[in-house]
Amino acid sequence: MKKNLETIRSLFSTLGTKFKRKPPKQEPVPASNEPVTTPRGQVTQNGKTKKFDRFSIISWVATLLLVAGLLGGALLYKNSLSAAAAPAPQPTSAPAEEEPSAAAQPQLGAPVAAANEGGSLSITRKLQLKTTIPERERYAAISYRVIRGDAMLSIAENFNLKSETILYVNNQLEDNPHNLKPGMELTIPPVDGLYYTWKDGDTFESVAEKFDTVADEIINFPGNRIDLTDPKVEPGAKVMIPGGSRALQDWLIPSASSGGSDGGSGNICGGGPVASGFGWPAGSHNISGNGYGPGHLAIDIQANEGEPVYAAGSGVVTQAQGGWNYGYGNVVQIDHGNGYVTVYAHLSVINVGVCTAVGQGAIIGAAGNTGNSFGAHLHFEVRSGGTNVNPYTVVQ
């Protein structure tokens, strides 16, 4: 504070020097006739000379007024803060069975006195409200363009649908998930089910029975925009059948053996080793695209081009054929002599021939991208008595 006062005083003194009036010039007077005068700005008192400057006095007065104003402003500001801060509500005794009233509850955003600070105020913050907007339910179909790396299973999971639902409503796939190609436009329905074009004579009950669902699902689905007071559909209208299903075409390579359970004598090679168990046919245990389900009675195992493919169990090779093979590409089939047959498709290399006996873990070929394949992987099927089963229930 003292340093600030000296600075202000120096400023006013400098201004006073600049604007100080200069005395008028006087003619020279002989020393003998020169009157006795007192220098400007000096007085004599009791024989002593005392200096004074009018501008210095004014600067001191102005400085004192400025300091007084600053101090007064600081005091007013402090008092206003003390008046604005409300004291913290004190707890009151209430009967144990009564709930505290709303007036006794602390208010959000109000200053709170610290318990151990003797009433000192905490820092107040503006209340921030975060609103979570729920995702609006979808009732209409949307389009999706397939990109490289997509698979039927991943697309279905992204839209919270079953993979067979996408096969139901996209005729260009021909019920085969391997027909998926980059750039293809898919119709993605809002819920699991299928679309149906209403025909003359159809009823809600007959359509629901045809697609294994119930009539109320069709009537109450908002996307169908059916008048609930008079439910009816005009012939030619396309309606959504929620939960509906239909048979999918099985794209399976014809079996080259009977898969009998008589020790392998039922296969075309007349017998061979019998498997006592099944192991994993590739180095990776990850699913790269499609899992087992309607329309894909196999699993697609992650495998890079050229990685080895192993026999899941002991047996005899009943098919080792290159080419398109119904979209399977280069394919190997092994009869395990215990009623089970395994199929390995889309291979880049085949290392065995027909009627070759193999043991579990023997390298029978290499993973590839042949046939109707969307990227290198191993298409692996397990059949029991000629019927496909989920490989996860057989291999370990």
Query: Residue range 331-345: average pLDDT?
Result: 94
CB 377 within 8 A of CB 303: yes
- Among 66-75, 92-101, 358-367, the range with the most confident prediction by mean pLDDT is 358-367
Taking only Cα atoms into account, the Rg of the chain, rounded to an integer number of angstroms, comes to 48
| 263: pLDDT strictly greater than 50 | no
Residue of 295 and 358 predicted with greater confidence:
358
CATH superfamily membership of 250-396: Glucose Permease (Domain IIA) (2.70.70.10)
* Helices 54-84/2-19 angle, 10° precision: 140
Q: In the CATH scheme, what architecture does the domain 142-242 have?
A: Roll (3.10)
pLDDT at position 248: 82
What global pTM score does this model have? 0.53
C-alpha closest to that of 303 among 282, 323, 324: 282
Across-strand partners of 331? 321
Residue 287 to residue 303: CA distance in whole angstroms = 9
At residue 115, does pLDDT exceed 60?
no
Q: Please say if the pLDDT value at position 329 is more than 80.
A: yes
**What would the pLDDT profile of 31-74 be if each residue is shown by its tens digit?**
555 555 555 545 455 555 555 567 778 888 888 888 888 888 88
Residue 259, pLDDT > 50, answer: no
Residue 113 has pLDDT above 60, yes or no: no
The partner residues of 188 in beta bridges, in order of sequence, read 142
> Nearest Cα to 309, choosing from 281, 341, 289, 329?
281
Name the residue ranges covered by the structural domains of the chain. Answer: 142-242, 250-396
CA nearest 212: which of 157, 156, 142, 294? 294
Q: Which helix (H) or strand (E) holds 350?
A: strand 340-350
Instruction: Check pLDDT > 90 for residue 131.
Output: no
Q: How many CA atoms lie within 13 A of 265 on its CB side?
A: 2
Tell me: pLDDT of 326 over 70: yes
Residue carrying the six token digits 């395994």: 342
Three-state secondary structure call for residue 186: strand
Which pLDDT band holds residue 1 (cuts at 50, 70, 90)? Answer: low
Share of the chain above pLDDT 70, in %: 69
Cβ atoms of 164 and 295 within 8 Å: the answer is: yes
**Torsion sign over Cα 342, 343, 348, 354:** positive
How does pLDDT run across 302-314, given as a tens digit for each residue?
999 999 999 999 9
DSSP-derived pairing of the beta strands 308-310 and 340-350:
unpaired
Contact 49, 42 (CB under 8 A): yes
Grouping H, G, I as helix, E, B as strand and the rest as coil, residue 12 is helix
In contact, 172 and 144? CB cutoff 8 Å: no
The candidate with the shortest Cα–Cα distance to 300, out of 153, 118, 131, 167, is: 153
- Torsional sign, CA 234, 238, 244, 246: positive
Torsion angle, alpha carbons of 317, 321, 324, 329, to 10: 50
What CA–CA distance (Å, rounded) separates 85 from 102?
A: 21
- pLDDT at residue 177 in the model: 81
Backbone φ, ψ for residue 330 (5° rounding): -65, 125
| Predicted pLDDT of residue 258 | 44
In the numeric block, which tokens belong to residue 95?
A: 């009967």
What does the pLDDT average to over 4-29? 62
* pLDDT the model gives residue 193: 95
pLDDT band at 274 (very low <50, low <70, confident <90, very high): confident
Give the pLDDT confidence score for residue 266 in this predicted structure.
64
Chain segment 174-219, per-residue pLDDT in tens? 888 878 888 999 999 999 999 999 999 999 999 999 999 999 999 9
Task: Report the chain's mean pLDDT, rounded to a whole number.
Answer: 79
- Confidence band, pLDDT 50/70/90 cuts, at residue 260: very low
Helix/strand number for the chain, H first, E second:
6, 15
Judged against a pLDDT cut of 60, whether residue 116 lies above it is answered with no
- pLDDT at 160 exceeding the cut of 70: yes
CB 187 within 8 A of CB 316: no
> Half-sphere exposure of 293 toward its Cβ, with a 13 Å CA cutoff?
16
| pLDDT tier for residue 129 given thresholds of 50, 70 and 90 | low
